[in-house]
Amino acid sequence: MPLRAEGGGPEKKQTPDIKGLFLFRDVLGTGAFSEVVLAEERSTGRHVAIKCIAKTALRGKDNTVENEVCVLSRIKHENIIALEDIYETDSHLYLIMQLVSGGELFDRIVERGFYTERDASALIRQVLRAVSHLHGQGVVHRDLKPENLLYYSAEDDSKIMISDFGLSKVEAPGSVMSTACGTPGYVAPEVLAQKPYTRAVDCWSIGVISYILLCGYPPFYDEVDSRLFDQILKAEYEFDSPYWDDISDSAKDFIRHLMEKDVAERFTCEQALQHPWIAGDTALDKNIHESVSAQIRKNFAKRKWKRAFNATAVVRHMQRLHLGSSQEGPPPLPPCPPRRLPPPAALRGEGPRGHPTARPPMRIKGAWAPTSPPVPRLHHDARVIRGPAKVPLKEGVGGFQGGLGG
């Protein structure tokens, strides 16, 4: 499995046994072809997330891993999870990733007692700077969404980190892409239209994320995928009352420039960074936490208890270390997972434009299929999408969730 480390990235190292170098603590997540574990480097005591990829599962798919390594090797930015090392044994490839332990974006917003437009603006500014850096390096992420935005630490002022480069692509100068991939609710119209596309798809996705951060629900939703895709293709979205009544015109203008159907008119990251809502003082300081967090709970209540378990495992393990405990072995088990949710019929509340309350996702053999909004995934375990046209989908190695998921 030839792997190229570009841009001064780590070179692949051979080792007979990865566990001689790292103490494996917890499984943090699993993907189609990989498993992510929390580990401690024996020589230094530092904590990392290791993406473990079985070679047998990758037969005929070596280019997928090579692409991810190629992308991660050329990226160095404070808001992008770093690839620190690459190891190989006879049976596995191991990507040693920077560990982030602050949790997911939505979880932190819900937990806060005070949240404003200014907070959302500061978050998006970090994302724009990181994606601008990606684009400057010729890299297109192609799967930007809130689940891939993680906090570096549990500190209140923690920076945000972009994760999951399983679908990213190095864009040659003057070239376009054509592979249909991404997550439908965040994917740009030109991708669904099966047209050649560019880095502008990332800017559309940032617009969708910005929209959600200010109201708590997605701009596009329909239980029928073909109708969802039709909304996106037409760029049909609204700033619904009363959810947007207290949001500034500047914020809405910013979103319109990113969620622009005409690619030639859509903001680039550099243009977005210069918009008054990002660079100026037009973002309001009014507390919108109650409304936004309520809608996030309704429309994104899709957390599996397994994910809650994994996040808690990281946090508790790090807390134990700070308290001075050094015993070897796995950390204490976190609290029992939340009780099972009531039957779906009891969960269906109504949000903006009739958005139903989200239900936990379910796993079916060979695929990952959510049972509610925001969106079904188009990549990794999925093979086809339903809609007006069926398109081939890229297989991945299981998206890396910044050390907190697979």
Please identify every residue annotated as catalytic.
143
How far apart, in whole angstroms, are the C-alpha atoms of residue 406 and residue 97?
13
Query: Quick one: CA dihedral 82, 87, 93, 94, positive or negative?
Result: negative
Q: What is the identity of the amino acid at 40?
A: E
- Of 333, 329, 328, 330, whose CA–CA distance to 309 is shortest? 333
Q: What is the identity of the amino acid at 267?
A: F
The tokens for 239 are 């700033």
Let me know: does 230 contact 261? Beta carbons within 8 Å.
no
Cis preceding-peptide flag for 242 (omega within 30 of 0):
yes
Q: Is 261 a known ligand-binding residue?
A: no
The tokens for 310 are 């994994």
How far apart, in whole angstroms, are the C-alpha atoms of residue 108 and residue 257?
27
Phi, psi of 156 (to 5 degrees): -60, -35
Let me know: does 233 contact 190? Beta carbons within 8 Å.
no
Phi, psi of 86 (to 5 degrees): -135, 125
* Mutual angle of helices 200-215 and 249-258, in 10-degree steps: 150
Task: Give the residue numbers of the binding site for ATP.
Answer: 55
Task: Give the residue numbers of the binding site.
Answer: 55
